[in-house]
């Protein structure tokens, strides 16, 4: 399965203001690869995940494309990284040709019956909060398998996620953070989807559980699934990702292979994120991100950027080096 997001934008309409949650997002993800979408809280990362699954509220407007298509023989080997350079807009036609689906324009019936759980599995943020509190983990797994038309037993599915059969007879409040995470993983894998979207999967977990969760996502990727990890934890992203997409104030500002990114990112904001890590300089980025209801016409990072000049009054576009900065 391969995913190409092309010009995706999301606006939330509020009384007297519009929230620019995602602006002109463009990236590609293929099977056997993991893309980590990173950035500070509130930049639009989770909105991106919900837009792909059609889970946004009624006051949201989504434009652009998010094409989902089976992988061809040329992508089956996984030897080549996806081309992350935004190309020309495909217009109304899929860049993958026939057999593809635009998640943005797909009707709810298609998303509910063909996409969610079957083609895309979602691992939600704070898994325990998304489980039904009055039903055991076993009951919720059994219901999910039944709705997806699967023949596996809850015990078999749980074993694949690292759970013991007796763990399934617990209610959500009786599960530890690690157990709740494994139940969420099992639910996301119930329909054997080729694409996994993990939305802040390490929130509230201690470091050993973070490492275990990232190792599980890497295993899923190595099995041939495409994995989109949304996180603000750069250390966790470094453990799992093949590519990195850096998001700031609703825009993706840098796309890079993971190795070169952690060796030396090119966007000043991305450098600031790495410099804020305790294992690096442990120096925070000064200032605060702009409000998404009042984004500037130029570079949104300008007030916080040590390299800012008058040129930054104009919005920088993603260039051939896959970075949106006048001074990259």
Compute CA distances 1 → 70, 120, 154, 245, 283, whole Å: 4, 10, 26, 19, 40
Q: What mean pLDDT do residues 129-147 have?
A: 93
Nearest by Cα to 80 from 119, 28, 123: 28
Least confident among 24-38, 136-150, 156-170: 156-170
pLDDT exceeds cutoff 80 at 42 = yes
Q: What mean pLDDT do residues 117-131 have?
A: 89
How many CB atoms are located within 10 Å of the residue 195 CB?
A: 20
Give the pLDDT score at 57.
96
Name 153's Cβ contacts closer than 8 Å, sequence gap at least 6: 145
pLDDT higher at 82 or 66: 66
pLDDT exceeds cutoff 70 at 89 = no
Q: What is the pTM (predicted TM-score) of this model?
A: 0.89
Where is mean pLDDT largest: 1-5, 126-130, 176-180, 316-320? Answer: 1-5
**How many residues make up the chain in this entry?**
328
* Contact status, residue 66 vs residue 1, Cβ threshold 8 Å: no
Q: What mean pLDDT do residues 20-26 have?
A: 97
pLDDT exceeds cutoff 50 at 71 = yes
Q: Which CATH number fits domain 2-89+98-287: 3.40.50.1360, 3.40.50.720, 3.40.50.300, 3.30.70.380?
A: 3.40.50.300
pLDDT exceeds cutoff 90 at 177 = no
pLDDT tier at 288, thresholds 50, 70, 90: very high
| Domain residue extents for the chain | 2-89+98-287
Using DSSP's 3-state secondary structure scheme, residue 144 falls into helix
Give the pLDDT score at 155.
93
pLDDT tier at 127, thresholds 50, 70, 90: confident
Handedness of CA 241, 244, 247, 252 (dihedral sign): negative
pLDDT exceeds cutoff 80 at 241 = yes
Nearest by Cα to 98 from 63, 62, 67, 54: 67
How many CB atoms are located within 10 Å of the residue 314 CB?
A: 11
Using DSSP's 3-state secondary structure scheme, residue 85 falls into coil
pLDDT tier at 194, thresholds 50, 70, 90: very high
* Contact status, residue 175 vs residue 103, Cβ threshold 8 Å: no
Taking the C-alpha atoms of residue 215 and residue 240, their distance in angstroms, rounded to an integer, is 7
pLDDT tier at 206, thresholds 50, 70, 90: confident
Q: What mean pLDDT do residues 239-243 have?
A: 96
Q: What mean pLDDT do residues 238-249 have?
A: 97
Give the pLDDT score at 98.
65
pLDDT, averaged across the chain: 89
């Amino acid at each position: 399965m391969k995913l190409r997001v092309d010009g995706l934008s999301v606006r939330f309409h509020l009384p007297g203001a519009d929230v620019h949650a995602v602006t002109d997002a463009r990236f590609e993800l293929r099977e056997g690869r993991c893309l980590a979408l990173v950035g500070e809280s509130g930049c639009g990362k989770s909105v991106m995940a919900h837009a792909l699954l059609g889970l946004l509220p009624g006051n949201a407007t989504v434009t652009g494309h998010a094409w989902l298509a089976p992988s061809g023989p040329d992508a089956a080997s996984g030897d080549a990284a996806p081309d992350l350079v935004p190309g020309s807009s495909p217009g109304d036609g899929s860049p993958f040709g026939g057999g593809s689906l635009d998640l943005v324009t797909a009707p709810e019936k298609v998303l509910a019956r063909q996409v969610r759980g079957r083609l895309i599995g979602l691992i939600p943020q704070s898994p325990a909060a998304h489980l039904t509190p009055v039903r055991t983990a076993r009951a919720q797994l059994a219901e999910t398998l039944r709705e997806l038309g699967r023949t596996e037993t809850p015990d078999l599915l749980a074993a694949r996620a690292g759970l013991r059969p007796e763990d399934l007879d617990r209610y959500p409040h009786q599960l530890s953070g690690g157990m709740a995470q494994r139940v969420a993983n099992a639910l996301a894998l119930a329909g054997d989807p080729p694409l996994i979207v993990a939305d802040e999967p390490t929130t509230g977990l201690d470091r050993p559980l973070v490492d275990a969760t990232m190792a599980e996502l890497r295993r899923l990727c190595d099995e041939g699934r495409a994995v989109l990890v949304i996180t603000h934890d750069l250390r966790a992203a470094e453990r799992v990702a093949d590519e990195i997409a850096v998001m700031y104030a609703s825009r993706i500002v840098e796309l890079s292979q993971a190795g070169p990114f952690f060796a030396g990112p090119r966007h000043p904001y991305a450098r600031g994120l790495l410099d804020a890590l305790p294992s690096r300089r442990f120096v925070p980025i000064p200032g605060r991100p702009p409000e998404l209801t009042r984004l500037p016409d130029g570079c949104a990072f300008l007030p916080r950027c040590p390299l800012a000049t008058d040129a930054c009054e104009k919005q920088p576009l993603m260039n051939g080096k896959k970075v949106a900065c006048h001074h990259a």
